[in-house]
Chain A
Amino acid sequence: MAMALRNMLRSASRRLQVRNYADAPKEGDLALTFAAGNKVFYDKQVVKQIDVPSFSGSFGILPKHVPTLAVLRPGVVTVVENDGKQNKIFVSSGTITVNDDSSVQVLAEEAHPLENLDRSAAQEALSKAQSELSSAANDKAKAEAAIAVEVAEEIVKAAATA
């Protein structure tokens, strides 16, 4: 009788310990891999939505988005996680791939959470970049300075909304 009770308790506890594999990404879930050169933000994690700024326009990505490739422009990537939390991360440049199994890879050259951006430092960087643009000598230097201006403008804009 005691042994029967013990067996029942053991099997009951085992049932309570059953692990759910609901966290593993299924086919059709938005599995996000968001990595920058220095840090990994998400590694094959399931999220609800991502908004990305790209050269072909800003677009939002939901699960089962059509596969596409895009090049990121400097701006803010907003990740809406499964529990509704929004994570804003500033990226300088990079690429985004949406594959046919609904997995998304965002590979950024440099990415920092919005909280790490300092408004005054961004303003300084912007004025410095603009002065470099006006004093640029050849085409290549002009192009580099134009890129610096664009990134600095976006940082200032993003830092203002933080």
Chain B
Amino acid sequence: MLGRVAPAATQVTAVVNLQQNRNMATLKSISIRLKSVKNIQKITQSMKMVSAAKYTRAERDLKAARPYGEGAALFYERAEVAPPEDEKKQLYIAMTSDRGLCGAVHTGVSKVIRNRLSEPGAENIKVICVGDKSRAILQRLYGKHIICVANEIGRLPPTFTDAAKIASAILTSGYEFGFGKIIFNKFRSVVSYEQSDLPLFSQQSVQSAPKLATYDSLDSDVIQSYMEFSLASMLFYALKEGACSEQSARMTAMDNASKNAGEMIDKLTLTFNRTRQAVITRELIEIISGAAALE
């Protein structure tokens, strides 16, 4: 008996809900929505301000770090170091960070790596993810290519110590790679950045470089220390470029978000006013028709 009553009750409430939904949203739900969008706009505005401040600092640091990175890569260009033709074991380093809400910064870098890994002959390519975002993107399909992840990137501006830690992790990872690439976002301007790469060579490639003989008084110790230091320098440079691109992308993204939130607020305010007027009109009609019925 009780069981038969319950479905009937739910059927009645369902009919009532349908009637309520037919009145658009109620005033209360529109005003709740309006308040939450206004809060979101405040949050995205403040995130934009914070990113703008971090961006000015990152750009200043980048200006100081640019000669560093270019100088570190210059030797390999001048000595015409090239990887051996049939190089199988490669290492890709993805420079991203831990924090999101910064546009297509992390997906850009991960896409470059993903495209390379989906080509044939990618079994011996290993990936080191600097920053949790690239790990999250690459883990699903290419989890077995990832050998190392660095996190706590993005909170503070990068220092040479961070780059040195990553460099020592690469060298102690035990993966003997013949050729490597650091994939990072190169900062072009406040509104544009592009994916770029820096090449990494193994000691063997350097020692078989055609122009190495022109360099005087070298032994393998010097070459090894030199390569370790230039690895750290290039990582430092890539970290700085990546940080600057990330902050500028976050600034743009948050600015767009605030603009979109502003548009939503305008539209919601209009519907709120329309709904309010409709409610008042309905009440007036009920009163007047009620009064007219009494006469």
- Is B175 an interface residue when CB atoms closer than 8 A count as contact? no
Q: Kindly state the interface size class of chain B when it binds its partner.
A: 20 to 34
Number of A-B contacts (CB under 8 A): 83
Residues of A within 8 A of B (CB): 33, 35-40, 43-44, 55-56, 66-71, 93-95, 97-101, 103, 105, 107, 109-110
Q: Which residue in B70, B217, B236 is a CB contact (below 8 Å) of A37?
A: B236
A126 to chain B, nearest CB (A): 22
A93 to chain B, nearest CB (A): 8
A97 touches B75 (CB 8 A): yes
Q: Which residue in A39, A55, A66 is a CB contact (below 8 Å) of B216?
A: A66
Residues of B within 8 A of A93 (CB): 229
In the assembly, what is the distance between CA of A105 and CA of B230, in Å?
11
In the assembly, what is the distance between CA of A35 and CA of B65, in Å?
8
In the assembly, what is the distance between CA of A71 and CA of B54, in Å?
34
Closest 3 pairs between A and B when the two form their complex, measured CB to CB: A105-B71, A37-B160, A35-B68
B292 to chain A, nearest CB (A): 84
Name the residue on A nearest B217 (C-beta): A68
A97 touches B71 (CB 8 A): yes
- Is B100 an interface residue when CB atoms closer than 8 A count as contact? no
Given contacts A35-B64, A109-B160, contact A56 B217 (CB under 8 A): yes
B67 touches A99 (CB 8 A): no
A99 touches B75 (CB 8 A): yes
In the assembly, what is the distance between CA of A159 and CA of B84, in Å?
48
B78 touches A101 (CB 8 A): yes
B78 touches A100 (CB 8 A): yes
Residues of A within 8 A of B236 (CB): 37
In the assembly, what is the distance between CA of A100 and CA of B215, in Å?
8
- Is B74 an interface residue when CB atoms closer than 8 A count as contact? yes
Mask of B167-193 contacts with A, CB within 8 angstroms, 1/0: 000000000000000000000000000
Residues of A within 8 A of B78 (CB): 67, 99-101
A39, A93, A94, A99: which has the most chain B beta carbons within 10 Å?
A99
In the assembly, what is the distance between CA of A44 and CA of B230, in Å?
18
Given contacts A67-B214, A107-B68, A107-B71, contact A37 B223 (CB under 8 A): no
B209 to chain A, nearest CB (A): 12
